[in-house]
Structure 1
Amino acid sequence: MMGYTEAPLAWGHARGMARTVGVSLTDAVVEGWLSRTELAGMVEMCGRCSHIGECTRWLAYTVTAPAVPGFCPNAPAIGALMA
Structure 2
Amino acid sequence: MRDLVTLKKHAALFDGMSQALGLDLEEEAIAGRLQFDEISEAVLRCSRCAHPGPCATQLSSGATDLAMAPDYCRNSDLLGFLQDTTV
| Global fold match (TM > 0.5) | yes
Give yes or no for the alignment of 1:25 onto 2:28: no
Q: Distance in 2 between matches of 1:16 and 1:64?
A: 11
Q: CA deviation at 1:64?
A: 1.5
Residue type at the aligned position of 1:48: R
Residue 63 of structure 1 corresponds to 64
Residue 51 of structure 2 corresponds to 51
Bigger Rg, which one: 2
Q: Distance in 1 between matches of 2:70 and 2:19?
A: 13
SS at match of 2:12: helix
Q: Distance in 1 between matches of 2:67 and 2:49?
A: 22
Q: CA deviation at 1:41?
A: 0.4
Q: CA deviation at 1:69?
A: 1.1
Q: Distance in 1 between matches of 2:57 and 2:25?
A: 21
The structure 1 segments of at least 4 consecutive aligned residues displaced by more than 3 Å after TM superposition are: none
Instruction: Report the number of matched residues.
Output: 78
Q: TM-score, normalised by structure 1?
A: 0.86
Q: CA deviation at 1:31?
A: 1.4
Residue type at the aligned position of 2:31: E
RMSD: 1.1
- Structure 2: segments with no counterpart, 5+ residues: none
Residue 3 of structure 1 corresponds to none
Write the mapping of 1:8-19 to structure 2, written as runs, cut at 5 A. 8-19=8-19
